[in-house]
Amino acid sequence: HDVQYKTSQQRAEETVFIDYCAFTYEVKGTNDPEVAISRAAQMLKTFLPHLEIEMRGKGFHGFYESAILLIDGVASGLIASGSSTHRRTYVEMTGLACGFVNFKAFGQMLFDLKARLSRVDTALDFFNSKYDPQAIRQAYIRGEFKNRGQNPSSSMAGPWDDKARWGAGLTYYIGNRKNGKLFRCYHKGREQGDPASNWVRMEVELRRTGNTEYIPFKILMNPEQFFVGAFPWLSRFQNVVAAKVDRVKKAAKITFDHLVHYAKQSYGPLIAVMQSIGMTSEEIQKKLIQPDKVPRRLLLCSVAYGTQ
């Protein structure tokens, strides 16, 4: 690509990062939801140059019209607009889109637009750590997640009762989304399909609810503060930023190695047959390689290594 996502390298130096962002703001000068969606997309292209949108032909959560955000053809969020009760436009960006955004500049833009943050997820990755869902559950049982003397609610997802199936990955939740704050710890690598992966992700999800004030813009400039302050146990990561873990490249290597392993198992015999019938390496490449296609799981990884 001619335009490179240079800001992704900056975020790779951070430890706690933004993994989801949703907000609303007023698009002035139009009542047409399609025009509002188009203008929102143009605004986002300042931070996501490869962004395209695809109209869904239907509404979303009370909005009349909506469109999918696409980055190199991969769904990465949504824009919705049009309502009988207000003139606001809604934007949500998933982890893939967030990976390319310089949130210090983005947060200033939202502040200038008088936008309202409705959901922000901060996250922290561990690639070989003692902190996993089982350890988090034990810390919860010991009362280390208590706020003001009370333990928040908790829940589990995955095959906790069947150790033989732990390769599918476990998730532990603390808090309640309805109350505006939810912590989760899960096996990210196993979610991606590698049953032996030690890649664990922790996330703190903050939501605007009827009982909470709007999420402050400061979270976009300083996600670490909001992550470590969510529950007492998380305060141990107060100085984690000093480590400057190159998270994106570590995630890239784990994902790449996993895909290469399964590609060898699935397509290695096919390539061997193609060679045995006299096909050259160039002919095999032409048959199998799609140079303009990057797998979704490797899209951000390829950017981190400067290949886009």
- Mind listing the pLDDT tens digit for each residue in 142-172? 999 998 888 999 999 999 999 899 988 999 9
Q: What band does 293 get if pLDDT is binned at 50, 70 and 90?
A: low
pLDDT > 90: percent of the chain? 48
* pLDDT of 19: 93
Write down the mean pLDDT value for the chain. Answer: 82
Read off the tokens for 207.
């939501």
pLDDT of residue 47: 93
How many whole angstroms separate alpha carbon 140 and alpha carbon 146? 8
Model confidence at 189, pLDDT cuts 50, 70, 90, reads confident
Residue whose tokens read 């922790």:
202
Q: What is the pLDDT of residue 263?
A: 64
Predicted pLDDT at 3? 32
The CA distance from 275 to 3, in Å, is 37
Of the candidates 35, 46, 36, 40, the one whose C-alpha atom is nearest the C-alpha of residue 92 is: 40
On the question of pLDDT at 252 being above 80, the answer is no
Q: What is the DSSP-derived secondary structure letter of residue 133?
A: H
Q: What is the pLDDT, as a whole number, of residue 5?
A: 33
Interatomic CA distance for residues 266 and 14, integer angstroms? 36
Q: Average pLDDT, stretch 251-255?
A: 54
Does residue 307 carry a pLDDT above 50?
no
Residue 215 φ then ψ, to 5°: -70, 130
Most trustworthy range by pLDDT among 39-43, 280-284, 293-297: 39-43
The pTM of this model reads 0.75
Return the higher-pLDDT residue of 107 and 298: 107
